[in-house]
Homo-oligomer: A and B are copies of this chain.
């Protein structure tokens, strides 16, 4: 079992917000993550909501700015917030804010100098999942969501593990990273120039050839988001979904931008979406 160091513990609503540090064997560095648990007496086996953050973020951004704990406490949902990349002086980095530390893209890097540490996909789907399951007894149903780079992560992790996650949601996700500047830069660095290898880390490409379980997807995209046209373009994913008859909903949110204020505005609806899908399945 991974040894966890408790860094913070706060009562919020009638749940508790935690922050932990542990030595990740997958990433080869110490990592922090945050965890919200609803009232144990009311909710003995809560579903688990995974939140993947965007470029430059840590586990703190969603924890401190989304206000999600209010709805999660009311609805009885546990929430786990990983960091966005490996960290530390011995971990490869870039001077750019959209590559390296804070920009792990939720994939397993194959190229140097990134390869030994940048394995966020394995970290989340295996190591941190085992911690949630074994050390916090979070054995309930799971959903996944995220923002921007983390929306990409939620789509890719969710679609590749559709037997595990009941539903996916995202705010302003990078739906087709192989075709936009953020993704092209990151994939060239982490995966190399062979674009065939990029397909398994690209939601739009994954969906084109998808034969797995059709878990529902909800996307919110602000129409005042300055990255909308150049980096995001959810209509690209919606077009593939329509062709494949895949259950995906894109909601354009008038006046909303790329900030956490948009996440705060709709996170309760996302949690309710995930729970409603669960209810439909039972």
Contacts and interface: CB of A to CB of B under 8 A. Distances in A.
Contacts of A7: none
Interface stretch (A46-54, A183-191, A251-259): A251-259
A90 interface: no
Contacts of A67: 67, 70, 264
Interface stretch (A9-17, A102-110, A126-134): A9-17
Most buried by B among A10, A224, A260, A265: A10
B264 A69 contact: yes
Number of copies: 2
A262 B10 CA distance: 8
Contact of A264 (B70, B224, B257, B262): B70
A261 B11 contact: yes
Contacts of A259: 10
Contacts of A256: 11
Q: Interface size for chain A: under 10, 10 to 19, 20 to 34, or 35 or more residues?
A: 20 to 34
A254 B265 CA distance: 28
A150 to B, nearest CB: 18
Nearest to A268: B70
Given A64-B64, A261-B17, A224 B11 contact: yes
Given A64-B64, A65-B65, A67-B70, A265 B224 contact: no
Contacts of A65: 64-65
B69 A10 contact: no
Interface in A196-233: 222, 224
B264 A12 contact: yes
A261 B224 contact: no
Contacts of A265: 11-13
Contacts of A261: 10-12, 17, 69
Interface in A227-282: 254-257, 259-262, 264-265
Contacts of A70: 67, 70, 264
A171 to B, nearest CB: 13
Given A11-B224, A13-B264, A64-B64, 17 more contacts: A10-B257, A10-B261, A11-B222, A11-B254, A11-B255, A11-B256, A11-B257, A11-B265, A12-B262, A12-B264, A12-B265, A13-B265, A17-B261, A65-B65, A67-B67, A69-B264, A70-B70
13 contacts: A10-B259, A11-B222, A11-B224, A11-B257, A11-B261, A11-B265, A12-B264, A12-B265, A17-B261, A65-B65, A69-B261, A69-B264, A70-B264
Interface of A: 10-13, 17, 64-65, 67, 69-70, 222, 224, 254-257, 259-262, 264-265
